[in-house]
Structure 1
């Protein structure tokens, strides 16, 4: 939760101004944390009337923030996905303006999907990307464009993101979950609090002279999907449906859902946690789901809160 995250997070350097482009689930958490630590932070949405929108930025309609808004920005986080043509909307629309700012740190949220399928093996930042999905190939193209930008960049590669309001608890609680099992398949994940916490930690590390270009931001425990559902059901005191073999369930999946099951990898966080010293709030799905359970207002009892 934000109060606990504030206690363990460093503020931005004195006099900093953070701009988050793309105020979705992750971006809003970063802004909230920065502000709670007393820093200036502004957030863009496509529509200025959207919740938590400070400025409007929509590359599709060429709705750009005024130059005055960008003045004094020292830290930038881009959470905006690639355009359909594979180009980065931020660099396309704002690249020249960004290069004119006194930027000390730039973060780009990418995906661990750029590693492709590793048949369950561990991957680290030194492994060469091998994207197989079209969306992951677009992400890698944007990573490369950001690296060529000349900006003080760090690329944060994220696996599946979850947090309060965006977890498996809702579907388990309403009986809509499917216990799909594929032998030896695991997924990596990260709680949204740890995305925000890691970003503030990495900004501090960069100020101290530690700035690896690529960082995996993931928890300690890649896990089978059925294990996560099982723990959620235990928290909620709910029963789960029978296990469905993947070979059977795949026949009913849409292409997007099917694509997630076609890749299997364990993503290492050793650079972030051991070498750079970030301490995860939620090192595994059990801790993260307990947090979601409390934040989403479920009633706690000793019998269903392991």
Structure 2
């Protein structure tokens, strides 16, 4: 019998997972807030639900697994704000529940390494909201919960190439700053592996093997495109939005041993170089096809 995944907030990461499951015979139901995005989701073989606004009780009753991608808002976790009672009732029969969180829950470690056992000491409002949301989900009795703490996500349409091509990219330099990141297809394969071997209560860091300064990523993108190196700008004087600047408040290197040792995952893109090279090949291939 086929299984059903209910995906709350069916966004970038969930859209990468869905084709893998559909190919294996899964039914995937994805929620979104807009009719336009519902149409986009439907075109991928996922059954769309506009939510909030549509009753998802039947979808939850059909679900064997639930993926939560929606981030916390002013009222905390949006799924639990609307569906806490229903989720609590459904909890014992759900085989797997995945919550997509962020490595921002670890806070600043001055460029040092963290793993899943590190204390949760976020320094940003977003990070604190994620810690609270994780705790909300963990508090539901008998829930087969898996928490996935995602590093910076990139993938098709979410890479540095457009800004580098346009000449608007900058290499923001902050001494000692380092970020971890992960390709969206590696997120998808980790989630798929976890669904195949649930381990309730598990927490996984999702990142590649090569934490790196952000300016190095921009520089490599320029090298691949064979364009001039974007200008270097000191962080202290750089014009940035408050949101962009807040990302530089924390510096750490994130360990990913657990996804390899427990789930047997072999990263498709173990560093930003292989990831960017693959994105560029895909972009060029799409251009060649569209030009036929």
**Structure 1 and Structure 2 fold alike (TM over 0.5):** yes
> Which whole-Å CA distance do the structure 2 matches of 1:47 and 1:226 have between them?
35
Partner of 1:199: 191
Partner of 1:270: 257
Q: Cα offset for 1:99?
A: 3.1
> Which whole-Å CA distance do the structure 2 matches of 1:193 and 1:135 have between them?
24
- Structure 1 stretches lacking a partner, 5+ long: 1-13, 301-306
Q: Does 1:81 align with 2:81?
A: no
Partner of 2:51: 57
Q: Does 1:257 align with 2:249?
A: no
> Which whole-Å CA distance do the structure 1 matches of 2:131 and 2:286 have between them?
43
Q: Does 1:45 align with 2:35?
A: no
Conserved? CA contact 2:67–2:97, under 8 Å: yes
Higher alpha-carbon deviation: 87-96 or 45-54:
45-54
Among candidates 155, 174, 179, match of residue 187 of structure 1: 179
Q: Structure 1 residues 71 and 197, CA, compared in 2 at 3 Å: closer, same or farther?
A: same
Between Structure 1 and Structure 2, the one with more helix by share is 2
Conserved? CA contact 2:116–2:204, under 8 Å: yes
Name the Cα RMSD after superposition: 1.7
Q: Does 1:135 align with 2:129?
A: no
- Structure 2 stretches lacking a partner, 5+ long: 43-47, 288-292
Conserved? CA contact 2:190–2:263, under 8 Å: no
Q: Cα offset for 1:211?
A: 4.1
The number of equivalent residue pairs is 277
> Which whole-Å CA distance do the structure 2 matches of 1:97 and 1:211 have between them?
19
Q: Cα offset for 1:290?
A: 1.3
Q: Does 1:226 align with 2:215?
A: yes
> Which whole-Å CA distance do the structure 1 matches of 2:122 and 2:177 have between them?
18
TM-score by length of 1: 0.86
> Which whole-Å CA distance do the structure 2 matches of 1:234 and 1:241 have between them?
10
Give per-residue Cα distances to partners, 1:17-49, cap 9 Å, x unaligned: 111111111121122221123211111101244
> Which whole-Å CA distance do the structure 2 matches of 1:232 and 1:212 have between them?
38
Partner of 1:7: none
TM-score by length of 2: 0.90
Partner of 1:11: none
Q: Cα offset for 1:299?
A: 9.0
> Which whole-Å CA distance do the structure 2 matches of 1:191 and 1:168 have between them?
13
Conserved? CA contact 1:17–1:39, under 8 Å: yes
Conserved? CA contact 2:10–2:30, under 8 Å: yes
> Which whole-Å CA distance do the structure 1 matches of 2:97 and 2:17 have between them?
14
Conserved? CA contact 2:164–2:230, under 8 Å: no
Conserved? CA contact 1:20–1:31, under 8 Å: no
